[in-house]
Amino acid sequence: MLSPSLYRWAREGGEFVAEVLRRFRRDHCTLMAAALAYYTLLTLLPLLLLSVAGFGYFLGSSEQALERTVAYLNSVVPVPTDEIVRTLVRVYANRQLTGTLGLLSLLWICSQIFITLQKALDLAWGKETHRPLPLLYGMAFLTILLLGLFVFLSLALTSFLTSLQHFNLSLFGLRAENFSWAWQLAGYGVAAFLSVMLFFLVYRLLPSAPVHTLSALYGSLFAGLAWEAAKHGFGWFVVNFGQFDRVYGPLAGLIILILWSFYSSLILLLGAEIAAVHGQRQPQREQEADSPSLGK
């Protein structure tokens, strides 16, 4: 027989999950995820071009910047990206097109994806506000900057771990390169930590409603870990069971990328619903804790 505390914990957990799923359906999260996936495809190439330009400024080499950007793209997209890379190289070779039309399209597309994401998050928190246009674009630029910083930090940490692995270090007579499993595990940990932090900033900063830090952390823990697990699981499924090329032919790569963007958006919105439900249940829990019991 369950103890009263364990029974209460299980009951509250079941109610929490049921409320999250109910709100997920109520807020039409699958439809919002499809819209986010659409704008993700539109903004992918401009963001990659901006990434190459930014890395090229810091690294002093366009070739190294392109290699770093492609490496990061392959680490976050568990599907073949050969066609995307070829398009990126071809467009980036035309510097005038990249500098003019690329930047203008990036500014417009980022505003659209930000508006869509803001509406989706506002639905989760049950609040709709109309931000002034300057603030809207300012938040869009802030989102781009944070995303660029996270990409740079991810590449820096990955390079640091790789250099440590091949560095001539020894501990108790054992060389660092002999612990390949430990370095692989550390790589997974760094990727999961960065994903959680990125989702945390999204849930903390983008919604119009005030979001409690603990609630944003709950949602980001789920979203970050679920996204990392889905990244490896989706890639394994495509390689072993996916037969998209037989159905879609040369469009198979595009269809797989659309599906991955859609699944990623679903995870993002489900994490937002978790954070929103947790934030709304916190005042009730605090009120129950502060209120005197009936036996007193």
Q: What is the mean pLDDT of the chain?
A: 76
In this prediction, residue 8 carries a pLDDT of: 80
Higher pLDDT, residue 132 or 216 = 216
In this prediction, residue 295 carries a pLDDT of: 39
Alpha helix locations (H) across the chain?
A: 4-26, 29-59, 62-76, 82-93, 95-97, 103-124, 133-166, 180-205, 213-240, 244-248, 252-290
Max mean pLDDT among 15-29, 76-90, 185-199, 280-294 falls in 15-29
Write the pLDDT tens digit of every residue in 162-180: 666 655 555 545 555 555 6
Q: How confident is the model at residue 220 (pLDDT cuts 50, 70, 90)?
A: very high
Write the pLDDT tens digit of every residue in 78-128: 766 677 777 777 766 665 555 556 566 666 766 777 778 888 898 889 877
Tokens 């990249």 belong to residue = 98
263 Cβ neighbours under 8 A, 6+ residues apart: 230, 234
Q: How confident is the model at residue 60 (pLDDT cuts 50, 70, 90)?
A: low
Residue 177, SS3? helix
Q: Do the Cβ atoms of 263 and 34 come closer than 8 Å?
A: no
Task: Give how far Cα 42 sits from Cα of 194, 246, 261, Å.
Answer: 24, 26, 11
pLDDT at 284 over 60: no
Q: Report which of 40, 48, 91, 47 is spatially closest to residue 67, judged by C-alpha positions.
A: 48
Residue at 123: amino acid letter: L
**Model pTM above 0.95:** no
- Rounded CA separation 60/54 (Å): 10
Residue 174, SS3? strand
Residue at 21: amino acid letter: L
Task: Give how far Cα 41 sits from Cα of 34, 52, 158, 253, Å.
Answer: 11, 18, 26, 12
Q: Do the Cβ atoms of 193 and 225 come closer than 8 Å?
A: no
Cβ neighbours of 263 (radius 10 Å): 18
pLDDT at 291 over 50: no
